[in-house]
Structures are given as C-alpha cells and as structure tokens.
Amino acid sequence: MPKTANKSAHKATSAVNIPEQVAAHRAFFRSGQTRPLAFRLQSLHRLQESIRHRQRDILHALNKDFSKSSFEGYATEVGYVLEELSFTLKHLPEWVTPQTVPTPLVHQPATSVIYPEPYGVALILAPWNYPFQLVIAPLIGAIAAGNCALLKPSEFTPATTAILKEIVHQCFDPAHISVVEGAVPETQALLEERFDHIFFTGSTAVGRIVMEKAAKHLTPVVLELGGKSPCIVDRGVNLEMTARRIAWGKFVNAGQTCVAPDYVYVPQELKAELIAALCVQIQSFYGQNPKSSADYPRIISDSHFERLSRLMQSGRVVFGGNSDASCRYISPTLLDGVSWDDPVMQDEIFGPILPILGYDNLDEVFNEVASRPQPLALYFFSEDEGRQQRVLQELSFGGGCINDTLVHLANPHLPFGGVGPSGMGAYHGKYSFDTFSHHKSVMHRQMRLDLPVRYPPYGAVKQQVIRQIFK
C-alpha cells in the first residue's frame, strides 16, 4: 500500500465551498511546500505507487463506465500514465534546473538565467473519453512544475471518477490536490474563481466558454480540443497494412478518441479495394459480431448514441450500421457516397462511423483540407517522400503520423496539442512541465563596472556608439 500523504478528511464539494477550496489551495501554494524538488518527486512517487496498486480497480471502473476492455484500459490509460510518470520522475531533476543562456557582449559582465517556476493553483477540466488518462496526465505536469491543482473529471464516467477521488485523497494533502465532482453548474462555478492556470480538454464549443471566463482574470489557458482529423491515402501504398492501421486508430475506444481518423480520402480507383481491406481488418479485430467482442466498447451516453445514429443516415452504409440502444452499441460502420454537405461531414464524428471519400488528384484533397478548420490530427499514408513533404509544408494540423494513426501522442518527446480551433498549447513529457511553469528570465549583473553610454544626456557621440552596437 502506498503511504498516504495526509489523512485529513475531504469534504464533499458543492458549488458553495468551491471558493473555500480554492483559497485552501492558494494558502498551501503560498506556504512554499510544493516548490522543493523532493516534494514534487515524493508526490509523483506516491501517485505512481497508488496507480500501480489500484490498477485492477481502475480497469474495472473503465469497463463499468463504457465497457472498455482491460487491454485498451491499460494501454491507453493506466499504462500510458505510468509511462508518463516514469519519464517525468527520471527527467524532473534536469527540468527544474535553472538554465543559463548566453548574454550579448554589450550587457557584459552578466549571467542570464531562465528559472522555471510554478504558476500556483491550476484548474484541470477533463472529458469522459479517456477519463483516467486525461485527468492524470496533465496532473503529472502540474505536480512536476510545483503547482497545486484542482481536478474536475467528467460527469459521464462516475465509476472512474470514484477511483480517481480515492487515489487523490490517498496520495495528497487536499490543499495540494483535490477533486471537484460535477457537471456544467459546478464547472461554471469553478470558472468564476481566479486560477493561475487552466488546462481544459474537451470540445471546441466548451473551450470557447473556458477561454472567455479565463480572460476575466487573464489566466493562461491550454485548450486541448477536437476537430475532424483527416486520413489521406496515397496511391502505391500497401492497402492491407494501411487498412489495419486506419481501422485500429478509428475503432479503438469505439471511435471516441479526439485524434481518431474522422474520415478517409482515397484515390477513386482504390476505394472499393480499401473498403474491402477495412472490412477484413475490422472482422479480424472484433469477429463477425462486434457486439459480443470483449474488446469493443459502448457509446458513452444516450445523447451521443442518438447523435451517432442520425449520422449513420448520411451516404450509404457499406459495412456495419448495426446498433442497439438498450446497451448503446454501435457497430464499426463504413459509409460510402458521402459529400461535404452531409450531416456526418459537418462536425467531429467522435464515434465508430468512418466515411470514405474518393479523390482524383491530391491537389483537390489539399485544397479541401486547407479550407477547413485546422484539425487536431492528420494522417497521410504514402511511400512518396515528395508528397509527404507537401503534406508537412502545405497543411496545418495539431500533429499526426505518416503511415500510421494515433501513435504520435504516445511519444513523450513529442508535444501534443492542437492548432487554431483544435486547441492551443501542448503537453506530454517535458512539454507538460513547461506548460505548467512560468519561465522567469533574470539577468544577473555585478556592481563593478557601469558603462555610461546608456545614460542621458545622450549627445552625438553616444548616438554613434549605440548605432555601432545595435545594427
């Protein structure tokens, strides 16, 4: 059993005691306890031990919330954050070390140093689709950077939230890290408070609300949002492997992944072949009847089930199309004959429905994608280096892969985040530490020498000197 940090009881949070809770965090931060490296490392170690110890409970909760398989639960949530914790614990001593940078000759003698410092009290707002990972991964960054944090998990995953609360209560002083449960009213009450940093993961629509609220206090925000992430298939690729990687990226978590391929563009003459290859791969993953597969999750809520059922009416179903409202099951579904005017192409799908669009030449695809809001991810399957370079140079997107899907977000050396309407700011690995740190720049001067050139009266000679120095 991991040691508990503090045995003081947590009060049930209501909108009424939110200001009190924020004040407790602020006092804890001001006490300076979160700043020493040793405190941060101990906090992260406690979290690591607790997650290891409770991993079965976490996986069980994820399964209870939306039938997530234990493999996916481990790979995308528990194992994912354990990896992030190990990486952070290993590198934190180096990240917290102030960095000395060069000083231009004109300012000598001097030493210039960047000091990372914690912002203070961070608010972390999370969605339901990876309900454990998307609370804990930003929390790791917040703790590593020396902040206090208040966590608001999604209201749609109560079993996972219950475990999260237990872990947080067991590992941390409630004035250091705390959890507020609730939905829109509680989030709105939280957003009335002044935080020193807000880290929001969720929809673009709610991201706008968060940013508007943050503006009142000029609080820095990171917005990890969504969007329609294209997957473009070039001529000349191995279609079997392409189909396997697309089907995996799309149907993991039943398509409820912010970076899931939203739609596929494929050369017209290869469309039938790609669809056939996708059908083969989907069946090899989930069998003839995905409803009975232990590896295929359910849709999170009735409203999302109804929304996705309506989207299945766009175009023509060429695979799947089955559903069961009683258990919110929607089978992996492929749509053909879809146009940009159809409902399924208006917003992020966020479910197991994959429209396949044909194209004649890549220019038309690039023009189409470039004219739409910048997506969170983009995937390009191609063996042609020239065309790979075109994608990288001509299209703006949060991040992505050449010849695969999703895996870019599992590399802690790569910053993860969106651009434009898919978000701002980034995290993972060192980027999480940087995201939750203010980088304080200080020039250390000495008192021995004081060149008079910068002081008035300036006169003609000083004007000449300054022009020689700054040119």
Q: How far is the CB of 128 from ligand NAD (least distance, A)?
A: 5
What is the rounded distance in angstroms from the CA atom of residue 147 to the CA atom of residue 34? 6
Q: Is 327 a catalytic residue?
A: no
Q: Which of 187, 221, 197, 219 is nearest to 147 (CA)?
A: 197
Question: Which residue among the candidates 77, 224, 231, 348 is catalytic per the annotation?
Answer: 224
Q: Who contacts 443 (Cβ-Cβ below 8 Å, separation ≥6)?
A: 103, 107, 110, 111, 112, 113
Cα–Cα distances in angstroms (integers) from residue 153 to residues 71, 176, 245, 273, in the given order? 22, 17, 30, 42
Question: Which residue among the candidates 148, 171, 258, 401 is catalytic per the annotation?
Answer: 258
**Contact between 103 and ligand NAD (CB under 6 A)?**
no
Binding-residue pattern over the window 107 to 136 for ligand NAD, x denoting contact by CB under 6 A: ------------------xxxxx----x--
Nearer to ligand NAD, 201 or 314 (CB): 201
Strand partners, 355: 335
**Contact between 423 and ligand NAD (CB under 6 A)?**
yes
Q: Using CB under 6 A, which residues numbered 24 to 63 contact ligand NAD?
A: none
- Answer for the pair 22, 195: CB distance below 8 angstroms, yes or no: yes
What is the rounded distance in angstroms from the CA atom of residue 132 to the CA atom of residue 128? 8
Nearer to ligand NAD, 96 or 121 (CB): 121
Nearer to ligand NAD, 162 or 317 (CB): 162
Strand ranges in 42-164 using DSSP code E only, listed in sequence order:
99-101, 110-118, 121-125, 148-152
Nearer to ligand NAD, 270 or 354 (CB): 354
What is residue 322's DSSP assignment? -
Q: Using CB under 6 A, which residues numbered 205 to 264 contact ligand NAD?
A: 206, 209, 224-226, 258
Alpha carbon 108 to its chain's center: 42
Number of residues that bind ligand NAD (CB under 6 A): 27
- Answer for the pair 102, 112: CB distance below 8 angstroms, yes or no: yes
What is the rounded distance in angstroms from the CA atom of residue 275 to the CA atom of residue 318? 8
- Answer for the pair 28, 147: CB distance below 8 angstroms, yes or no: no
Nearer to ligand NAD, 55 or 154 (CB): 154
Q: How far is the CB of 224 from ligand NAD (least distance, A)?
A: 3
**Contact between 203 and ligand NAD (CB under 6 A)?**
yes
Q: Which of 50, 77, 45 is nearest to 144 (CA)?
A: 45
**Cβ-proximal residue to ligand NAD, closest one:** 226
Q: Using CB under 6 A, which residues numbered 343 to 402 contact ligand NAD?
A: 348, 350, 376
Q: Is 84 a catalytic residue?
A: no
- Answer for the pair 457, 441: CB distance below 8 angstroms, yes or no: no
Q: Is 316 helix (H, G, I), strand (E, B) or coil?
A: strand
For the chain, what's the residue count? 471
What is the rounded distance in angstroms from the CA atom of residue 128 to the CA atom of residue 157? 6
Q: Using CB under 6 A, which residues numbered 140 to 199 contact ligand NAD?
A: 152, 154-155, 183-184, 187-188
**Contact between 436 and ligand NAD (CB under 6 A)?**
no
Q: Who contacts 45 (Cβ-Cβ below 8 Å, separation ≥6)?
A: 89
Strand ranges in 325-371 using DSSP code E only, listed in sequence order:
329-330, 333-336, 353-359
Cα–Cα distances in angstroms (integers) from residue 258 to residues 188, 214, 249, in the given order? 23, 23, 11
- Record the tokens describing residue 221, joined without a space: 């925000």
The residues that touch ligand NAD, with contacts defined as CB under 6 A, are: 125-129, 134, 152, 154-155, 183-184, 187-188, 201-203, 206, 209, 224-226, 258, 348, 350, 376, 418, 423
Q: Which residues are catalytic?
A: 224, 258
